[in-house]
Amino acid sequence: MQEPVTPGNNPRTVGDVMTRTVISIGRTAPFKEIVRTMDQWKVSALPVVEGEGRVVGVVSEADLLPKEEFRDHTPSRIEQMRVLDALIKSGGVTADELMTAPAVTVHADASLAQAARTMAWYRIKRMPVVDAFGRLEGVVSRSDLLKVFLREDEDIAEEVRRTVVGQLFAARRQHLTVEVSQGIVTLAGTITDTSLIPVAARLVRAVEGVVDVDMQLRSGDGRT
């Protein structure tokens, strides 16, 4: 079970949010065993491992559905060209024949943003977390990555004050206020160099847990 996200325990990397107790299967796992395992553990995909836990592929619900899709339908030759991979998998009976390989994986020290981009690019819901040797360490899901937004507003504000205001504006003796509500950061005050506004906005957005940024900065002469 994952620990709750609280101040001082803020998720920064995949290792902070991943599920460490992982159900996996071997290459020879039969079709019905795969379905039963998914149903029992309420997961949509299973890592396929061999040897000392090295991940060689992933079997997902999408890999299993062709078995039902083509049960009472023989696609035309044109259709076969379009759905060749699915058609091949419809005849699969073991994990080795059904899995998607190589598996899309991530390391525990990867940032949450990196993991999110990878999952979005490959359109996957769950991703195995592996060590330097490709051995299974855990699994990260879309819901795991969203845990960063459970971070407390005041904790976000403190980091913005320290890492953005404190470093970008402190030397200029500018008086800025940082307020956070529901993850939306409002940065307000007077600055001497308005060219830094886009830089500040980018740095604030990079803080884990930030939902949006409202920049209310003005120059010393009243210009925004």
Question: pLDDT of 70-98, one tens digit each?
Answer: 555 565 555 544 555 655 566 788 999 99
Q: What is the mean pLDDT of residues 11-16?
A: 87
Q: What is the mean pLDDT of residues 4-26?
A: 78
Predicted local confidence at residue 13, as pLDDT: 93
Radius of gyration of the chain, Cα coordinates, nearest whole angstrom: 24
Q: Is the pLDDT of residue 128 over 80?
A: yes
Summary mean pLDDT of the chain: 86
- List own/partner pairs for 188-195 with CB under 8 A and 24 or more apart: 188/216, 188/217, 189/216, 189/217, 189/218, 190/217, 190/218, 190/219, 190/220, 191/217, 191/218, 191/219, 191/220, 192/219, 192/220, 193/219, 194/218, 194/219, 194/223, 194/224
* Predicted TM-score (pTM) above 0.95: no
Predicted local confidence at residue 24, as pLDDT: 97
Q: How far is CA 24 from CA 77, 99, 213, in A?
A: 36, 12, 41
Q: What is the mean pLDDT of residues 29-34?
A: 96
Q: Is the pLDDT of residue 170 over 90?
A: no
